Amino acid sequence: MKENDMTRENWKQLCAAERFEAHFKAFMSPEGVQFATPAAERAYQDRVQMLKDVVQLKKPKRVPVCPIIGFYPFAYAGVTPEEAMYDYDKLGLALKKFHADFVPDSLAIAPVYGSGKVFDILGYKLYRWPGRGVPPTAPYQCVEAEYMHADEYDEFINDPSGYFTRFYLPRVFAALEGWQMLAPVTDVLELPFFGPYIVPIGIPKVQESFQKLLEAGRAAMEWIQAASAVDAATLTTLGLPSVFGGFTKAPFDTLGDTLRGTHGIMLDKFRQPRKLLAAMEKLVPIGIDLGVRSAGPQHPVVFMPLHKGADGFMSDDDFKTFYWPTLKAVILGLIEQGNVPYLFVEGSYNHRLDVIADSGIPRGTTIWMFDQTDMKEVKKKFGSWACFGGNVPVSMLKAGKPQQVKDYVKRVIDDCAQDGGFILANGAVLDDAEPANLHAMIDTGKEYGVYR
């Protein structure tokens, strides 16, 4: 992409479809990347083209095989999740071995595993991670609680950033407890009124918190350099693009997962529905901005894991009232910027398909990855307007046999992939599997998924 296409003024002139093209052009020829061989570069471009084709509901060369990978590469390479989060050499060895041995069409990127060292410095309380609250062999897991209290909606709605700074961060990071004493930055107006803002910064506990933050920042820099080098090595030698550029969340999940918790948000739905709806409205532009910024100019796809709107979590009416409207607004906002929302639909969504399919989201702009949703129904309802995929059971990848996986993959491709617009993947995040079964999934997808 030409440098000036991305300048702010030019960008404003472009329509959504032109922005989409600009993103994919940059994704196809990433700036500053030196491929090891011309073959690797061609393989990379082929894979990006397959992704673009499926998003636009065309038939690609073949079905792209983009498994959704959790901590599995480490189990495969004999490295514990704890080591992966603390020893970046081992992180790199395991991920390089995994990609070289399995050669999927996408990269399991290193930064998602996080740095245990950074979290240790900050005393992160929102998660337990391997060796810190869960066994060294377990993946990191969120500790649900009411980090935002039921009576704090007004503070949140009035100033979400201020709320995060002075209420939320001090609760989830032990090292930032002192930030409760900070004043809002919007207090800083004129010389005579500057005191109340700057004086709390001098309080020893606040000083300590900033020292810790600086320390964490240094550790994060060391980590991201190591993690980026790991990804670059695989990208440039094998030609594997990451499917994800950035990430964001559904407003209901943002509040329900890590602020109010499931218990809290479900009670809010009854006790203070207007405030819940207002808080979610507030999160729409914030969610769009996060997605666009985290994807950056070189990658179109924004990962969105969907949690608490699944079948069973709420009635269809509640889904239509509380979950879907603000999620849809975030999706539309991303599309407007030329981004491609990648909806990772955990659990089952059989009751939600009609609502989503009828919602007026433009054709050929989104990716929907399903787990236990009925794929024939998805094909029927989504086939003509959105790329979709997923569904290979992780239980089968762990406890099944290669022939069984092979048969299953063929059936999914027969049922769903005939017209293009399909990505082969496992249904849920993969932390554990038999290598022969994962090989069977990837190899069958590549062989059987060729369009003739």
Partner 1 sequence: MNPLVEAISEMREDDAVRIANEMLDQGTSALDILDHCREAMAMVGKRYEAGQYFVPELILAGEMLRRISDIVKPRLAEGVAVKKLGKIVIGTVQGDIHDIGKNIVTFMLDVNGFDVKDLGVDVPVQKFVEAVKEFRPQVVGLSGFLTLAYDPMKNTIQALKDAGLREGVKVMIGGGQVDEQIREYANADAFGKDAMAAVALARSWTT
- Contacting residues toward partner 1, per CB under 8 A: 70-71, 128, 133-135, 137-139, 141, 143-144, 262-263, 266-267, 269-271, 312-315, 318, 346-347, 393-396, 398-400, 428-433
Q: Are strands 246-247 and 340-345 parallel, antiparallel or unpaired?
A: unpaired
Q: Which is nearer to partner 1, 219 or 353 (CB)?
A: 353
| Minimum CB distance to partner 1, residue 2 (Å) | 45
Instruction: Pick the closer one to partner 1 by CB: 70 or 445.
Output: 70
Handedness of CA 371, 375, 381, 384 (dihedral sign): positive
The CA–CA distances, whole Å, from 135 to 22, 81, 403 equal 45, 9, 33
Report the alpha-carbon angle 389-392-393, nearest 5. 135
Is the Cβ of residue 145 or residue 226 nearer to partner 1 in the bound state? 145
- For residue 435, the minimal CB distance to partner 1 (Å) is 14
Cβ atoms of residues 422 and 63 within 8 Å: yes
- The least CB distance from residue 108 to partner 1, in Å, is 15
- Residues whose CB falls within 8 Å of the CB of residue 135, separated by 6 or more in sequence, listed in order: none
Closer to partner 1 by CB, 239 or 347: give it.
347
For the CB of residue 64, give the shortest distance to partner 1 in the complex, in Å: 23
Amino acid at 311: D
How do strand 301-306 and strand 340-345 relate by DSSP bridges? Answer: parallel
Query: Are 246 and 295 contacting, i.e. CB atoms less than 8 angstroms apart?
Result: yes
As measured in angstroms, the least distance from the Cβ of 82 to partner 1 is 12
Q: For 27, left (φ over 0), alpha (ψ -120 to 50), or beta? A: alpha
Task: Please state the closest distance from residue 291 (CB atom) to partner 1, in A.
Answer: 25
Q: Which is nearer to partner 1, 75 or 329 (CB)?
A: 75
* Residue 174 tokens, joined: 């032990």
Nearer to partner 1, 7 or 403 (CB): 403
SS3 annotation, 289-344: HHHHHHHCCCCCEEEEEECCCCECCECHHHHHHHHHHHHHHHHHHHHHCCCEEEEE
Phi-psi map region of 141: left, alpha, beta (phi>0 left; psi -120 to 50 alpha)? beta
State the greatest distance between any 2 C-alpha atoms of the chain, in Å, as a whole number: 76
* Shortest Cβ 146–partner 1 spacing (Å): 13
From 424, 375, 429, 374, select the one nearest 398 (Cα to Cα).
429
- Closer of 78 and 285 to partner 1 (Cβ): 78
**Residue 360: which residues within 8 A CB-CB, separation 6 or more?**
none
248's tokens: 């964001």
Residue 141 or 161: the one with the smaller Cβ distance to partner 1 is: 141
Among residues 113, 92, 103, 367, the alpha carbon closest in space to that of 240 is found at 103
Least Å distance, CB 139 to partner 1, is 7
Minimum CB distance to partner 1, residue 126 (Å): 12
| Beta carbon of residue 83, minimum distance to partner 1 (angstroms, whole number) | 15
* Helix, strand or coil, per DSSP, at residue 3: helix
Q: Which is nearer to partner 1, 112 or 286 (CB)?
A: 112
Torsion of CA 219, 225, 231, 233, to 10 degrees: -140
Q: Which is nearer to partner 1, 434 or 443 (CB)?
A: 434
Nearer to partner 1, 152 or 346 (CB): 346
- By the 8 A CB rule, do 63 and 410 touch? no
Smallest separation (angstroms) from partner 1 to the CB of 3 = 44
Q: What is the DSSP letter of 178?
A: G
DSSP assignments along 227-258, one per residue: HHHHHHHHHHHH-PPPS-SEE---HHHHHHHH
